[in-house]
Amino acid sequence: MNWIYFFDLCGTAVFALSGALAAGKHRMDPFGVIVLAAVTAVGGGTIRDAIIGATPVFWITDPNYIAVILATVVACLIFIRKPYKLSNKSLPIADAFGLALFTVIGAEKALSLELSGMAAVVVGLITGVGGGIIRDVLCRQVPMVLRTEVYATASIVGGISYTISLQAGMGSMTALSLAMLSTLIIRLSAIHWHLSLPAFDLKTKK
């Protein structure tokens, strides 16, 4: 079984759920839910493939990604009728799992194209945060990655963990699990304890 591909589809479903929940919080119609779920799920990977020249992008050549997004949206519309009644942490937690999965997927794709370890970390970061940025912009919010929340940092640590683990001779599954776990621990800890980085507060004289 191709575990990388399996986790990629899992990440697509998780980020699609994240987008659908965000659409529900903003009271969008079913078409809006589909659009927001789709751009959240494949946005980061699309930007990644465009940057590294892996064209046509992955979801164009593999319809399974679109099928997963549609199935996730339908399930969300049926079983989660009123997303605004969910906990305020539901969206960040779903997003954290998507971040962990896509960070590793992005880094793995960069390494498979024989890019450097540093490039793999950056590509992993783009894959992990790209869809969320598009989602937040469409919802007219400041993207999580640009706030003081510990978000991009978790992705960077996960990407570094994955590349170093592979370079140290660990198996791909071990490296993948370690990287996802490190990303999740940092991001979920930040959500639970409201951890954040210092804000750049440039005050001007009146």
Q: Which helix (H) or strand (E) holds 49?
A: helix 30-52
The predicted model gives 88-93 an average pLDDT of 85
Q: Which residues of 15-42 are buried (b: 16+ CB within 10 A; e: fewer)?
A: bbbbbbbbbbebebeeebbbbbbbbbbb
Tens of pLDDT, residue by residue over 99-127, are 999 999 999 999 999 999 999 999 999 99
Separation between Cα atoms, residue 105 and residue 144, nearest integer Å = 20
Tens of pLDDT, residue by residue over 160-176, are 999 999 999 999 999 99
The first and second tokens of residue 193, run together, are: 């304890």
Q: What is the pLDDT of residue 54?
A: 94
* Residue 84 in this model has a pLDDT that exceeds 60: no
Q: What is the pLDDT of residue 202?
A: 72
* Residue 83 in this model has a pLDDT that exceeds 60: no
Q: What is the pLDDT of residue 191?
A: 93
Q: How confident is the model at residue 53 (pLDDT cuts 50, 70, 90)?
A: very high
Q: What is the pLDDT of residue 117?
A: 96
Integer Rg of the chain from CA: 17
The predicted model gives 55-78 an average pLDDT of 96
From 73-82, 108-117, 188-197, the region with the lowest mean pLDDT: 73-82
Look up residue 133 and give its amino acid: I
pTM of the full structure: 0.93
- The single-letter DSSP state of residue 199 is P
Q: Give the 3-state secondary structure of 139-190.
A: CCCCCHHHCCECCHHHHHHHHHHHHHHHHCCCCHHHHHHHHHHHHHHHHHHH
Asked, as a colleague might, if the bond just before 56 is cis with ω within 30 of 0, I would say yes
Name the burial class of residue 129, with classes exposed (0-12), middle (13-18) and buried (19+) by CB atoms within 10 angstroms of its CB: buried
- With beta carbons less than 8 A apart as the criterion, state whether 182 and 164 touch: no
Separation between Cα atoms, residue 117 and residue 176, nearest integer Å = 15
Query: Taking all residues of the chain, what is their mean pLDDT, rounded to a whole number?
Result: 92
Q: What is the pLDDT of residue 147?
A: 80
The predicted model gives 185-193 an average pLDDT of 95
